[in-house]
A and B are shown apart, each in its own frame.
Chain A
Amino acid sequence: MSSLSNYLIVSAILFMIGASGVMFRKNVIVIFMCVELMLNAVNLTLIAFSQFMGDQSGQILVFFVMTVAAAEAAVGLAIVISVYRNKETVEIDKLNLLKG
C-alpha cells in the first residue's frame, strides 16, 4: 500500500488540471468537464482520507457528491443548451452580459 501523500498528490494534480481548464478553456462544455474533474479530485481526497483514518463517513459523502454532480451535470447541460439556442455559441468569451 502506498502512502496517503501519493493519493493526495494525484488528487492535487487532478484538481489543478481541472482548475486550469475552468480558468483557461473557452468551450463551456469543456469547462464543465473540468469542473467534474475538480469534483472527482476532491472525491479522491475524501476516499483517501476515509481509508487511512478508518472513518466511513468520508466515503458516504462521496456518494452525495457524485449524486449532486450528476444532478448538476443535467442542469448544467440544460443551461448550456438553452444558452446555445439563444446565442448560437458556447464560447465563454461571448457570454459577457455581466460586463460592467
Chain B
Amino acid sequence: MGLLTLLILIPLAGAAILHFIKDAKSAKIFTLAIALVAFVVSMIVYIQFDSSKAGFQFQEKLPWITSKTIAISYYLGVDGMSLLLVLLTTFLVVIALIGTWNSTDKKIPGLMALILLLEAGMIGVFCSLDLFLFYIFWELILIPMYFIIGIWGGERRIYAAVKFFIYTLAGSLFMLVAIIWLGLEASKVTGVFTTDFTALQVASSKLSLHVQSYLFWAFAISFAIKVPLFPLHTWLPDAHVEAPTIGSVILAGVLLKMGTYGLIRFNLGLFPQASIDYASVFCILAVISIIYGALVAMVQTDIKKLIAYSSVTHMGFIVLGIFSMTREGLQGAVIQMINHGLSTGMLFMMFGMMYERTHTRAIKDYGGLAKITPHYAVFFAIAMLSSVGLPGLNGFVGEYLTLMGAFQSSVLHSWAYAIFSCTGVIIAAVYLLWMYQRFMMGPVTNEHNRSLRDLSKREIFSLVPLVIFMVWIGIQPMSFMKLSEKGMNAQSDTLLGARQQSGYEIVAPKVIVK
C-alpha cells in the first residue's frame, strides 16, 4: 500500500472505528491520535518528496472500473502544490482539534467521525489524479461539512447548511458533465473512455477551442463557487457564521483551497488555451472580489461574517495570481493558499475561543479585551496582522507575489488589474484594524466581559505552532515554496509557451498613465 493511500485510509478507518466509541473524551483523544498519525505520515511523504522534480511523485495506480472501452483507475500522486496542501490539511486538523477541544459537548463521537471523514476527503481531493476519483472525493466532502454545519451550528444552521450544500453541489454537477464529456473526447482519440489526468492532458490538447472553452467554464464555475469568487460567494458568510468553530477553521483553512487548487490543476492544466482566453475575465472577477470583499467586510457587525468576507478578498488574490500565469503569480497563489489557511484559520479559531466564553458574535458586545485578556490580544493581533499582509509575516509574501505576477503578466494586457488589487491592501488595513480596535482596545464597554479568562495553556499550545509558521513563512518563504517551485515554474512556462506557439502576440503590459 502506498503512503498516499495510507494517508487517506487512516482517517477513514478512524471514522469507522469511532462508531464504536461512545465516550466523548476517549473519542476526542482517539481522533487526535488518528489526526497526529495522519500528520506524521504526511511528514514522511514530505521528507521523501524530491523537490527537484516537477512531475507527480508517490504515484499509485490501480485499475478500478475497466472494460474494453472504459479505463477508470484509482490513481493517486502528489506534486509540490498538492503536497503543501496535504500538509496544511493534516496540520490544521490537528491544530483545530486541540484548539476547539472543549468547544462543544454535543454528540462528540459523531462530530469527530465527521471531521476524520472530512480529512480523508480533503486529502483525497488533493491527491487524486483521476478525475472520477477526484469527483468522488470532492463530493464526499460535502456530506460531513453539511452535517457539521447542520448539527453543531448556530441558530440558522439548517439554512446555512442547505445553502452550502446546494450551492456547491450545483456547481460540481457542471464539473461532472465536463468530466464525462472530456472522457468521451478522450475516447475519440484513444478509443477508451478515460478520466486519467495525464491522459486527459494529452487528449484535451486536441480539442477544438470551442469545446475547450465550454469545458473550461464547466470546471471553472464549480471551482469558482468553492473559492468563492464574486458573485458566487454568498454561501460563504452564511456557512461561516453558522458553522461551529472547528467547521469554520477547516472550511476557511482547507476547503476553499480546493477551488483554487482545482483551478490550477485542472483549468490551467487541461485547458491552457481557454485559460489564456478567459484570464482577463477571471482577473476582473478576482479584482472585484478583492475590493468588494474588503469593502463589505468593513461594514460587518458580526465578527465571523467579517472574517468570512475577508476570505473573499484573500482568495481573490489567489485567483489573480493564478490567472496572471506568471511564475510569481502561480507561486504566490500556492503560498497564499497556505497563508490564508493559517491566518484565517487562526482568526476563526481564536474567535471561537472567545465565543466559547461569551456566546456572542456581535462586535459591539466587545471592547477593551486587551486589558482583560492580554495574551489573547497578542495572539489575535498576530493573526490579524498576518491577514493584513504585514511584511515579515506570511500574508505579505503571497499577496506581494500575486500582485507582482499580475504586474508582469503578459496574459493580462494592463497594469490596471494589479493597481486596483493593490487598493485591497489599504482596505484590508481599514477593516481589520477597525475590527481589532472595537474588539480589543478602548475602554471595557460590556461589564460581562470583565471576568473573562485569558487563554488557557491548551489554547496557547494550539496557537503557537500557527504563529511559528506565520513568522517562518514570512521570513523564510523559500523553505516552503521550493516544494512547489519546479512544478509551478514548469506550468507557467508551458502556459506562456503555449501562447507563443498559438501565434498570439506577446504584448508588454500597457502603460495606463501617461
* Direct touching of A and B (C-beta under 8 Å): no
Chain B interfacial positions (CB closer than 8 Å to A): none
